[in-house]
Every structure is written in structure tokens, then in C-alpha cells.
Structure 1
Amino acid sequence: MRNVLLAVDGSNPSEQAAKFLARIPHFDPVKLTVVTVVQPRFVHSSYATNELIQKAYEQDRQNAEKMLAKIEPLFDGADVDIQCELLEGVVGESIVQKAKELNADLVVVGATGHSQISRMLLGSVSDFVATHAPCSVLVVRPELLPKPGSPLRVCLAYEGTGPCQAALEEFKECPWHGNTELHVVSIATCLNDLYSDTSFIQHYKDDLAKAQEQLEEVSDHVITHFLEDVHYGEGITRFTEANEMNLVVLGETPRSQFSRFLLGSTSQYVLRHVPCSVWITRNRMIKNLKQGTQEQSKVTANR
């Protein structure tokens, strides 16, 4: 959470994404790179295109510069080193490439459309970035952001696995004390006869208790929920809608460049079905695992 890339395009969703990012607290100084992408114009070759394209391009640049100037004041007073940059190229691909160049920890984008159909449509910039970015991604849907003075209601999907623990640790890097309600949700799929195995149920509840203990270090209001559903993504979606969550946080299993093109993962399902903002933790080393690896390396080196 020290190196953040915010992509804006002048739309209301991207402006709301910037405002939401500005309200997220942080312990350490943040290097924030704000980018907007100017995509080249293409005109039929029968026109005298040179002058036309140049004028359109210059207008796009001017609009982009004005937009970046509006974003900067949102972070006044925060411990943020902000830099603005104008990119050229295809929008989604340019954002992903910039995230790679910066070695960003988090990419923040706004999303349009909040109906059930529009959330499931493929091809949008936010969907492309969320699918292809090499790091964690926060997709902000402005329609269900909390109103001023209202608490931020967060659902953290947790099941004790490595990706879920990584999401928990990334979330803990922000001090959420104050006006935040944090709901930690564990979904058990297809339990049926397993309900008779009390040790199996207790395993879920023990994981939730451990998660709650960790999160109470950064949040004053942590509530755990143990639920049953036939599908993990559907369970998270139903809980989010029923309890009017503003943000869903979940971890994603590290994937190769090829596997990112495949559909069906939990993170993609949740992103396309929940009505609120989604924070996906990706390709992040778990702190405890990293520390254990470092300690093991020291032991090996001393032999």
C-alpha cells in the first residue's frame, strides 16, 4: 500500500474512485501516481486527417490536464507524494503496463454500470484492468459508496487459506478505527452431512476467531459470520446485497498470465455480480510466510 496507481478519465465513476481512495487511511507515506490515457483518434483515410487528428489530440490532452488538476487537491493534507502523468495508447492496456513499470501495490479504477446486466458485460476498462493487472486492484462503484457521515460497511471474504490471509494482511495496512463496520464472512459450500461433524464446523469458526483477533488491531467494529451456500461467490454476493455492503475484500490465488484470461474464478464472479466496490488482493506474499522463508534462508546460510 505504499505505491498506488489511480486511473482517471474525467467520468463521475473515476472522480468518485479518487475521492474514495482519498478517504482510505494509511499508516505509511504513499506514493500516488495519477494517470489518464489519451487514445489516438482514427479517421477514414479519405479525409485530410493530419490537421484534424492533431486538433482532436490536442483537445484531448487539454481535457486530460484539466482533469488531473482537479484530482490533486483531493489529497491535500494527506501524507501522499502525488505525481500526475498523461499516457498515450489503448486505455486498459496502458494502465496495466504502467502498473507493471511502477511495480504498483494497488491499482484503483472506477466502474460504470450497476445493473445486474451491465455488471456482467465484458470488455470494460475496469474489467480488463481487474483481470490483467499484476497487483491488487480496487474497482470503485460510486452508486453504493457510503454517504457523508455514514459508516463504511466492508465485507471481507475469509476461509483461512493463503489468498484470504493475504487479503486480510493487506487490509490491515490501513487503520480503519472509527466509522467503519467490518464483517468477516466465511462461506461453507455443500456441507450437508458434514454438519454432523462438529470438528469440521469448529475449524471454520476457529479460523473466523483468528481473523477477528487480527483485524481488531485496526478496526473497532469487527463482526464474524459463518454461512452455508452452494457456491462461494454466490454466498458472498447474497450476503453483500442483503446487508448493503459498500466494499467487498477478497484474496485471489496467484495466476499466470495465461490463466488470467480464463473465466470462472471467485474474484471475477464477485466483481461481476456484487453491486458495490470490490478490492481484489493479488500476487501478494503472506507476511508470516515471507518471514518464515527469510528465517529459513538465514539458517541455511549459517550452516
Structure 2
Amino acid sequence: MVMMIQEYNNILVPVDGSYGAELAFQKSVAVAKRNDAHLHIVHVIDTRAFQEISSFDTSIVTDISDKAKSNLDKYTQEAKDAGVKNVDYSIEYGSPKTIIAKDLTKELNIDLIMIGATGLNAVERLLIGSVTEYVTRNATCDVLVVRTNLKNQLIDSKKIKNKNH
């Protein structure tokens, strides 16, 4: 029996502080290491959320960006400590759906997106569908939706305190 093993070279993992994103990050590190692949971690700040605020204060975006950078620095170090040689990150601004599914995929020649089954924004999911759902339908590369931990166990995120890097 001949086994064909798919190799991935450029893996994208979006993180937003949610438990689902944490699981996706953990698995993306393992896959990147196994494939000797480049791992790109991204946090997308949804600027549309700020358009509704009439007295918009730019310090809000600065605070969110600073927190994202701090988290991404930790994720990057964690990936390096785990043995991923080629890891970087970016903070993007705009619509998470299109940035993840289309823009970064094309720009970074991504061949695998590893994304958590659910993110933080329940309201957007109810109103216009989840980012994960959009990415699985519209990405031009393979998408792995992560629902389980490294031991492939499904864990109720409500019972676990958000690690929130």
C-alpha cells in the first residue's frame, strides 16, 4: 500500500484570544513542525466595529493593537520553543473573513489555513455567519477547522477558563 502524505509549506493560523483559536494554534505548531513549514500567525482587528462609534477615539485601536502584538509575540516564542524554525506574525485591519480567506492566502502563498471552529464574536456569527464558515467556503487553499485538542479530544470550552495568552 502506497501512502501519499500531503506536505504543506505555508500555514496560516488566525488567533483572536478565543479557546478555538488557541486549539488551532497548538495544532498548527505541530503541523508546521512536522512539515518543516512556514507558520504565519495573524490577528485581524475588525475595523468595521469602530465605524459605529461616533466619538471614535484612536487610542482604542492602539490599545487593541498593543494587546494583539503582546499576544502574538508570546505565540511566536511558543512556536519557536516547540521547534518551528520559520514563524512570523502580522496584525491586519479590516474584515477578518476576506483578509484570512483571500488577501493573506494570496499574498503569503498559503497552502493551509488552520482555524478554530468558533471565535469570540457570537453577535457577528448570528447576524452574518462565522468567519470560519466563510473561510471554509471561500479560501483557495485547504482549510482545517480545529475542534479538538492535541489529543483529538473535544473539550467544552465553557468548562475551561480561556487561556487568553
TM-score range, shorter chain: 0.7 to 0.9
Which secondary structure does the structure 1 equivalent of 2:27 belong to? Answer: helix
For the residues of structure 2 that align with 1:21 and 1:138, how far apart are their CA atoms?
10
Q: TM-score, normalised by structure 2?
A: 0.72
Aligned to 2:90: 85
1:20/1:137 CA distance change after superposition, 3 Å: same
Which residue of structure 2 lines up, in the alignment, with residue 95 of structure 1? 100
Give the aligned length: 139
The change in CA–CA distance for 1:14 and 1:77 in structure 2 (over 3 A counts) is closer
Q: Does 1:107 align with 2:113?
A: yes
- Cα deviation, 1:255-281, whole Å, max 9, x if unaligned, reads xxxxxxxxxxxxxxxxxxxxxxxxxxx
Aligned equivalent of 2:60: 56
Q: Name the amino acid aligned to 2:136.
A: A
Q: Counterpart of 1:134 in 2: which secondary structure?
A: coil
Q: In the TM superposition, what is the alpha-carbon distance from 1:27 to its structure 2 partner? A: 5.1
Counting only pairs closer than 5 Å after superposition, residues 131-280 of structure 1 correspond to structure 2 as: 131-142=137-148, 145=149, 147=151, 152=152
Partner of 2:3: none
Q: Return 5+ residue gaps in structure 1 as ranges.
A: 114-118, 153-244, 247-303
In 1, Cα distance between equivalents of 2:104 and 2:93: 11
Separation (CA, whole Å) in 2 of partners of 1:15 and 1:70: 12
Contact 2:96 2:131 in 1 (8 A): yes
How far does residue 67 in structure 1 lie from its aligned partner after superposition?
1.6
- Measured after TM superposition, the shift of residue 82 of structure 1 is 0.4
- For residues 44 and 68 of structure 1, do their structure 2 counterparts lie closer, same or farther at Cα, with a shift above 3 Å needed? closer
Distance 1:3 1:124, change over 3 A: same
Q: Could you list the runs of 5+ residues in structure 2 that have no partner in the other structure?
A: 1-7, 120-124, 155-165
Are 1:109 and 1:126, in contact at CA under 8 Å, matched by a contact in 2?
yes
- Matches of 2:150 and 2:107, distance apart in 1: 33
Name the SS for the 1:33 alignment partner.
Answer: strand
TM-superposition CA deviations, 1:60-107 (whole Å, max 9, x none): 101211221221133224243001111110111111211111111101
Report the AA paired with residue 75 of structure 2.
I
2:10 matched residue in structure 1: 3
- The residue identity in structure 1 corresponding to 2:13 is L
Could you report, residue by residue, the CA deviation over 1:140-160 in whole angstroms, capped at 9, with x for unpaired residues? Answer: 114xx354xxxx5xxxxxxxx
Say which SS state the counterpart of residue 38 (structure 2) adopts: strand
Q: For residue 77 of structure 2, what is the aligned residue in structure 1?
A: 73
Question: Rg bigger for which structure?
Answer: 1
Q: Closer, same or farther in 2 for the Cα pair 1:74/1:58, shift >3 Å?
A: same
- Compare relative contact order (CA 8 Å, sep 6+) and give the higher one, 1 or 2: 2
Per-residue Cα deviation, 1:118-137 (whole angstroms, up to 9, x for no partner)? x9x97101111111111000
Distance 1:79 1:63 in 2: 23
Q: TM-score, normalised by structure 1?
A: 0.41
What percent identity do the matched residue pairs reach? 31
Instruction: Call closer, same or farther: CA 1:27–1:67 in 2, change over 3 Å.
Output: closer
Runs of 4+ in 1 over 4 A off after TM superposition: 25-28
Partner of 2:4: none
Secondary structure of residue in 2 paired with 1:138: strand
